[in-house]
Structure 1
């Protein structure tokens, strides 16, 4: 990725030299930063090799990252877990600088001060990718809110593809979890991309702060447990983010049984897919059979 290599080289030139390359920094002082004044880090940051299984950033163009990273993840297992959710987004090619933006936060280059993405880089990636994320039921997260990042006149990772545009398909007005074809391969694709999957009935539907809140009945059939615990299943509450007003034909008939899929996001369980459970439907029957025998593809194939 030549654009990123050029960006890294530019950063190295911009930061006062200490006679060493970025990869030779092993430890350095870092007590606070300009974005969150007065924040102190319990662990002294260090340089570590980017793990080969950190797939989001392993081919980024530099070999070492700072730990803790700029999202306050302080262990590699935590970083790998959080970053894995973003790998499918790269395959959608919603903006050419998506990887640069994400890796500047998840696996920042090792320098003697934190180098954040510029606000314009965040805005460009957000504008290109948030419609794609929305179509799969994911909101743009608060931790990536663009006003958290410095303006371009500060030292920061800048936009590498200015003026580039990506043609997006028209965004449906239907709530994204409710707008999926009942085709076996599509159902299986979403099953693999989701963290949990259930057969369940709905007890109650509410609207809360712009979201739609779905409260399940007690009895459920678990197809994929993921992050759910037994106590979560007893009183499971799901959310469609920003879904208070968008149409969802499935929720017009809440007494039916549903195939529900979702993910955990910021201490909530998000509904990402909902289908009416119709065992007469050949595609649903085939998908359920494939769920038992099929090995899910790796992340970068899921959204293709």
Structure 2
């Protein structure tokens, strides 16, 4: 397939200028009959039986609301062919925006989920993918989610190609300051936030912490023998008998909930392989109305169809 020639990496703020340049370039026009650049996963390119459409970004597509343009092409650059599929898949990434792991996260994700409606599809530059990945992958890993293969940065064009460049961030990701609260400890303490976190957790347990250790950049919480399992999920008897919870990428960050290990805690997590990863921890407060409501109605709460990865305080 031919590659689109033209200017090097394009910042998001210059998308309008890019649109004007494409409109005046050879072969410009209103037809979308090919991709100007093909990722490695599609070596033979992709042809459509019909021309892709330009549609308004739906107002309920939260991921790309206020992204800086109003029209998107469909099918998008992740091969989603219906707006319903786009919205369903994009909604899973909304919680990552709340974590504010990189200033270009929305630009990168929306360039794929809701690509700007230009004469030719324009992919994010490899460098844009890399800075977002380097900053956000550790946050995702804290919750047991690896950086997905569909966003592998090698699939995207280098900066000398026509592509969307880093707009707000630096060429290298800046490590988060040590004072930033651990992602597992910044959870929303309102009932809705707790129940949303329960939806995305495999298990929910009320327990005391026997001991806490730090090793290889993570914390290990050893549960006391007496505990109450509120949501069992995929846990086996051996998992609950000697429960050890791992807090990934949490060796140096503060966690106010763990300043004192006295009292009980409400913990939520996922089972990844043989390890139990801690997603959220709350001090148990039996007279707290929000917590009582969340625990009482956790199984009747209408969990979303998509898998909410990273609900946190920034969302509410």
Instruction: Tell me if structure 2 keeps the 8 A contact 1:66–1:110.
Output: yes
User: Structure 1: how far apart are the matches of 2:114 and 2:194?
Assistant: 28
Residue equivalent to 1:85: 92
Q: Structure 1: where are the runs of 5+ without partners? A: 202-219, 224-232, 239-247, 252-257
- Asked whether 1:273 is paired with 2:279, we answer yes
Residue equivalent to 1:39: 45
Residue equivalent to 1:255: none
Residue equivalent to 1:302: 312
Instruction: Tell me if structure 2 keeps the 8 A contact 1:191–1:261.
Output: no
RMSD: 4.6
Residue equivalent to 1:28: 32
Residue equivalent to 2:70: 63
Q: Equivalent of 2:159, from 149, 152, 155?
A: 152
Q: Equivalent of 1:249, from 244, 249, 257?
A: 244
Greater mean alpha carbon deviation, residues 4-13 or residues 130-139: 4-13
Q: CA deviation at 1:284?
A: 9.8
Instruction: Tell me if structure 2 keeps the 8 A contact 1:198–1:259.
Output: no
User: Structure 1: how far apart are the matches of 2:86 and 2:277?
Assistant: 24
Instruction: Tell me if structure 2 keeps the 8 A contact 1:32–1:40.
Output: no
Q: Secondary structure in 1 aligned to 2:102?
A: coil
Instruction: Tell me if structure 2 keeps the 8 A contact 1:188–1:291.
Output: no
Q: CA deviation at 1:101?
A: 0.6
Residue equivalent to 1:11: 18
Residue equivalent to 1:72: 79
- Asked whether 1:100 is paired with 2:104, we answer no
In 2 relative to 1, CA 9–89 (structure 1 residues): closer, same or farther, beyond 3 Å? same
User: Structure 1: how far apart are the matches of 2:117 and 2:175?
Assistant: 35
Q: Equivalent of 1:168, from 176, 186, 191?
A: 176
In 2 relative to 1, CA 186–289 (structure 1 residues): closer, same or farther, beyond 3 Å? closer
In 2 relative to 1, CA 68–271 (structure 1 residues): closer, same or farther, beyond 3 Å? farther
Deviations 1:168-200 (A, max 9, x none): 14599x9x8xx659x992896354145445668
In 2 relative to 1, CA 57–249 (structure 1 residues): closer, same or farther, beyond 3 Å? same
Q: CA deviation at 1:119?
A: 0.3
User: Structure 2: how far apart are the matches of 1:147 and 1:103?
Assistant: 18
- Asked whether 1:122 is paired with 2:132, we answer no
Q: Which TM-score applies when normalising by structure 2? A: 0.59
Q: Structure 2: where are the runs of 5+ without partners? A: 1-9, 206-228, 237-242, 247-265
In 2 relative to 1, CA 260–90 (structure 1 residues): closer, same or farther, beyond 3 Å? closer
Residue equivalent to 2:250: none
The answer to which structure, 1 or 2, has the higher relative contact order (CA under 8 A, 6+ apart) is 2
Instruction: Tell me if structure 1 keeps the 8 A contact 2:188–2:312.
Output: no
Q: CA deviation at 1:221?
A: 7.0
User: Structure 1: how far apart are the matches of 2:311 and 2:151?
Assistant: 24
